[in-house]
Amino acid sequence: MGKPSLSLSCLPQTSVYVMGSTLHGRLRTKDVLLKWGMQITRDCVLCGSHLETLPHLFFDCVYSTEVWQGILLWLHWKRTILTWERECCWIQQTCKSRTPREALLKACFASVVHGV
Ligand SMILES: [Zn+2]
């Protein structure tokens, strides 16, 4: 499976940057910072009970999952939240239709990633 990609030209540059960094595995989660030798706590900044990794933040963590689930329900998508890669694939496939609803979905996804 290749790296997922999303076109985010309609979003603020900071959201585009964070989304791009996350999609390409460059998000500096605590597991990465610990490998670099930084003296920090290992726990997830959201739940405080798991090692903070990209897969944990998106979407093993109960808090980020709850946020994303709430937004999906607000957009009238009832589905189970999957792993980071599978969510990206779902967004990519779903947003091919380029309707306003799908554009909003993509923007919300990028905002959740940026916010988390
Ligand atoms: Zn967590």
* pLDDT tens readout for residues 42-86: 999 999 999 999 999 999 999 999 999 999 999 999 999 999 999
How far away, in angstroms, is 3 Cα from ligand 1 center? 23
Q: Is 103 left (phi over 0), alpha (psi -120 to 50) or beta?
A: alpha
Residue ranges with CB less than 5 Å from ion ligand 1: 44, 46-47, 61
How far away, in angstroms, is 98 Cα from ligand 1 center? 32
98-103-94-55 Cα dihedral, nearest 10 degrees: 150
Parent domain of 37: 16-115
Phi then psi for residue 47, to 5 deg, are -105, -25
**How many structural domains does the chain have?**
1
Q: Is there a domain that residue 89 lies in? A: yes
Q: Is there a domain that residue 7 lies in? A: no
How far away, in angstroms, is 45 Cα from ligand 1 center? 6
Q: Is there a domain that residue 2 lies in? A: no
Distance CA 20, CA 6 (A): 8
Amino acid at 55: P
How far away, in angstroms, is 56 Cα from ligand 1 center? 6
Q: Is there a domain that residue 5 lies in? A: no
Residue 78 has what pLDDT? 93
